[in-house]
Chain A
Amino acid sequence: MPKLIELGLPSLTPEVYSILASQGIISVEDFMLSADISKLEAWGSGTLKEVVAEILHYLECQRVGLKSGLRGVQDMQAMGIQYLPTGCESLDAILEGGLREGTLTELVGASATGKTQLCMHVAASVAYKCRALVAYIDTCHSFSSIRVAHMVGTLMKTSEGHQGGVAADELGKVLKGILKFSAFDIYSALSILHELHASIGNNFQAPEEFRHLRLLIVDSASSLISPILGGNQIQGHALMVSMGAILRKLAIENHLAVLITNHTVGGEFGQPKPALGESWKRIPDVRLLLTHDPSSNACEVAVIKHSSIACNKQASFCITKRGLQSAEAEL
């Protein structure tokens, strides 16, 4: 943070500066940490008061200030509350329409419970149905563009009726709307996320219609984070929290829906538990638990944490050759 002298405050005379310096206040950081504003203001001299007011004004300009609830509601109404369809009817039904923009959704499940399949299906559904850009950060080399093409093809067939083949150029357009990034450690993932945060609003290399980035997927977030959690606990946790913070920032400031996955590990008494534990738990707004029933080949999704809907709802889907099939739709 800058030093007080560097701010160019008009009323920071050498005299006032020496008073502040005698209190150990040289930088803005010092002011925030150790300045007792009431005491400084009560101390008298008018110029000191002015300097305090100017520093406070500087701080005020640095951040988005307090906003009244009324403004918040008006802003939200102007923007509209959008839900992005996951493309799986039973899941959309329990989520009241899909993934909400501005929130973070987490899929938790053991391996082979359909986490990646669901991620790819959501990407296909949002790119095709919403004509929106999707950023997909692949951390395990599990993203398959052929599989996504199948899924988009199925979605196109079902929505347009069975009119023979799928238009190849249309398919290509939708697929170009899905931007895939690869990251195999947390540092590269963080730099991709920060770049994304900085470059939103600029044009991505994508077809004309797909202007807005609306969905960000990180599959899997836990495989980036769990390797750094052992050993030096503090640094690992700090990196994890900053990962959560940038995802949160992208969701709130850029109005994205964020979807991440978290695998499970063996916990106490052999009970599987999410790989990212207590400190991570508070980061997502919505947590969905995936389980797979081998006898019926159905994947169950249960809501285990949600900021606004009750947590006892369940949905299921099957993974088929053509894509994900909602269980109800099949019956």
Chain B
Amino acid sequence: MIMEVGEWVRGHESVASMLHRVLPNSRCTTPLVAPLQQVALQARDVVEVAGPSGSAKSELLLQAAVTCLLPERLYGGWEGGVLWYDLDGHFDILRLVCLLQARIHQGKALSLGGLIEDGDNIMNACLERFLLTRCYNSFDFIAALQTTRNQVKEAQRQGRSMRLLIIDSIGAFYWLDRAASLVAGASTESSRPSIQAVTRAVVRELHQLSNMHGLLVLASKCSIFSPQSSDARKDTRRAGLQHREYMPAEWQEFVTHRLLLQGPMSGEAEVVFIAEWQMPALSGVDRFTIENTGLKLVI
């Protein structure tokens, strides 16, 4: 008993490590990627990037990750770690390297021959800060989140702080989870978990991770229903992007910001994508193209 009290009094961490954990996260200032700059995002926010397949969701997340990884000086990054949960299996390390290279090159060009670190070192340091895991079903995803705690703590102890948690994409196991709860009658023991229970567990783990370490959460969500013609007609009057929710309420309540994407738009010389904030609702629409060096706003 006395031992336990002693442990409780000693506490889990010193003030220094607590400040180290909490303070750097309040300085998220530089916008991660152009379409996200209209809204001031803070640590512990949960941003959902929704849109149909091929509307540049993953590309936008990659760019955000690149900005987070790059050093602050010269490159205008956050110099922070990124946790990437690849649920779709689309992550391409080549594309990440290509984008990092382009940004490092730009930074070098700006520095006008001043004292500059070797590009390879910066690249390696950035890649070292990037942590990736692939998940093949919802339980795999929950296990990944639960076991991440120790690794994040370990990284923190070494002075590397995680700043960004990315999920691509959150609805990947929607149909599997829906079907799993349907075959409840088949198993004799306790009934299979419902999609709500699974989502609740995912949200609980994400909440604890982001709260504890002050992470910004970015999640892409792929539309699984094709836009209905009646919606499309309504849409032309409202002139906004449409979005049909399918995730359970547990997830919807967790999301604090939502950006809608659409594209590519046909009938133009360039391949143009459109981004619009739905939560908070902003009237402006961003138009952007994707080039080899990254995303570029069209004015």
Chain A residues packing against B (C-beta within 8 Å): 1, 29, 32-34, 36-38, 44-46, 56, 59-60, 62-70, 72-73, 76, 81, 234-235, 237-238, 240-242, 245, 248-249, 251-252, 268, 277-279, 281-282, 285, 287, 304-305, 307-308, 310-312
Residues from chain B with Cβ under 8 Å of A37 in the complex: 146, 149, 208
Q: Which interface class (under 10, 10 to 19, 20 to 34, 35 or more) fits B?
A: 35 or more
Q: In the assembly, what is the distance between CA of A36 and CA of B207, in Å?
A: 11
- Known interface pairs A282-B88, A305-B53; A81-B94 also in contact (CB < 8 Å): yes
- In the complex, 30 of the A-B residue pairs with CB atoms within 8 angstroms, ordered by the A residue number, are A29-B139, A29-B193, A32-B142, A32-B143, A33-B193, A33-B201, A37-B146, A44-B7, A56-B147, A63-B144, A65-B133, A65-B151, A66-B151, A68-B127, A69-B96, A69-B130, A76-B94, A81-B94, A235-B179, A237-B175, A240-B175, A249-B89, A277-B226, A278-B53, A278-B225, A281-B54, A285-B90, A308-B94, A308-B95, A311-B271
Residues from chain B with Cβ under 8 Å of A65 in the complex: 133, 144, 147, 151
Do residues A268 and B229 form an inter-chain contact, with CB atoms below 8 A?
Answer: yes
For the complex, would chain B's binding face be called helix, strand, loop or mixed by DSSP majority?
helix
Given known contacts A33-B142, A66-B148, A73-B127, what 10 new A-B pairs fall within 8 Å (CB)?
A32-B139, A32-B201, A33-B198, A69-B127, A72-B132, A73-B97, A281-B222, A282-B53, A307-B58, A311-B54
Residues from chain B with Cβ under 8 Å of A234 in the complex: 175, 178-179, 182
Q: How far is the CB of B78 from chain A (nearest CB, A)?
A: 16
- Known interface pairs A67-B131, A278-B225; A235-B182 also in contact (CB < 8 Å): yes
Q: In the assembly, what is the distance between CA of A209 and CA of B94, in Å?
A: 30
Do residues A249 and B176 form an inter-chain contact, with CB atoms below 8 A?
Answer: no
- Known interface pairs A45-B4, A234-B178, A282-B222; A305-B147 also in contact (CB < 8 Å): no
Interface positions of B from 107 to 151, Cβ below 8 Å from A? 124, 126-134, 136-137, 139-140, 142-144, 146-151
Interface core residue of B96, B126, B139 (most chain A CB under 10 Å): B139
Select which of B97, B127, B133 is within 8 A of A64 by beta carbon.
Answer: B133
Residues from chain A with Cβ under 8 Å of B137 in the complex: 245
Asked if B224 is at the interface (CB within 8 A of a chain A CB), the reply is yes
Do residues A68 and B131 form an inter-chain contact, with CB atoms below 8 A?
Answer: yes
Residues from chain B with Cβ under 8 Å of A29 in the complex: 139, 193
Select which of B95, B150, B229, B271 is within 8 A of A310 by beta carbon.
Answer: B271
Nearest chain-A residue to B204 (Cβ)? A36
Residues from chain A with Cβ under 8 Å of B134 in the complex: 64, 252
Residues from chain A with Cβ under 8 Å of B133 in the complex: 63-67
Select which of A1, A278, A304, A311 is within 8 A of B223 by beta carbon.
Answer: A278
Q: In the assembly, what is the distance between CA of A29 and CA of B190, in Å?
A: 11
Q: How far is the CB of B123 from chain A (nearest CB, A)?
A: 9
Residues from chain A with Cβ under 8 Å of B4 in the complex: 44-46
Asked if B52 is at the interface (CB within 8 A of a chain A CB), the reply is yes
Residues from chain A with Cβ under 8 Å of B98 in the complex: 308
Interface core residue of B53, B96, B126, B151 (most chain A CB under 10 Å): B53
Do residues A66 and B58 form an inter-chain contact, with CB atoms below 8 A?
Answer: no
Do residues B147 and A59 form an inter-chain contact, with CB atoms below 8 A?
Answer: yes
Residues from chain B with Cβ under 8 Å of A44 in the complex: 4, 7-8
Do residues A69 and B53 form an inter-chain contact, with CB atoms below 8 A?
Answer: no
Asked if B92 is at the interface (CB within 8 A of a chain A CB), the reply is yes
Interface core residue of A37, A44, A65, A252 (most chain B CB under 10 Å): A65
Q: In the assembly, what is the distance between CA of A64 and CA of B193, in Å?
A: 24
- Known interface pairs A56-B150, A76-B94, A312-B271; A33-B179 also in contact (CB < 8 Å): no
Q: How far is the CB of A115 from chain B (nearest CB, A)?
A: 20
Residues from chain A with Cβ under 8 Å of B294 in the complex: none
Chain B, residues 71-113, CB within 8 Å of chain A (1/0): the string is 0000000000001000011101111111000000000000000
Nearest chain-B residue to A308 (Cβ)? B95
Residues from chain B with Cβ under 8 Å of A38 in the complex: 208, 212
Q: In the assembly, what is the distance between CA of A268 and CA of B97, in Å?
A: 41
Q: In the assembly, what is the distance between CA of A33 and CA of B97, in Å?
A: 36
- Known interface pairs A56-B147, A234-B178, A240-B175; A69-B224 also in contact (CB < 8 Å): no
Residues from chain B with Cβ under 8 Å of A34 in the complex: 197, 201
Residues from chain A with Cβ under 8 Å of B139 in the complex: 1, 29, 32
Q: How far is the CB of A249 from chain B (nearest CB, A)?
A: 7
Q: How far is the CB of A5 from chain B (nearest CB, A)?
A: 14
Do residues B143 and A62 form an inter-chain contact, with CB atoms below 8 A?
Answer: yes
Residues from chain B with Cβ under 8 Å of A32 in the complex: 139, 142-143, 146, 201
Interface positions of B from 248 to 289, Cβ below 8 Å from A? 264, 271
Chain B, residues 209-240, CB within 8 Å of chain A (1/0): the string is 00010000000001111100100000000000
Do residues A69 and B126 form an inter-chain contact, with CB atoms below 8 A?
Answer: yes
Select which of A63, A64, A305, A308 is within 8 A of B54 by beta carbon.
Answer: A305
Chain B, residues 169-183, CB within 8 Å of chain A (1/0): the string is 100110110111010
Q: In the assembly, what is the distance between CA of A56 and CA of B52, in Å?
A: 36
Do residues A72 and B93 form an inter-chain contact, with CB atoms below 8 A?
Answer: yes
Q: In the assembly, what is the distance between CA of A274 and CA of B291, in Å?
A: 27
Q: In the assembly, what is the distance between CA of A63 and CA of B8, in Å?
A: 33
Residues from chain A with Cβ under 8 Å of B126 in the complex: 69
Do residues B197 and A33 form an inter-chain contact, with CB atoms below 8 A?
Answer: yes
Interface core residue of B89, B136, B212 (most chain A CB under 10 Å): B89
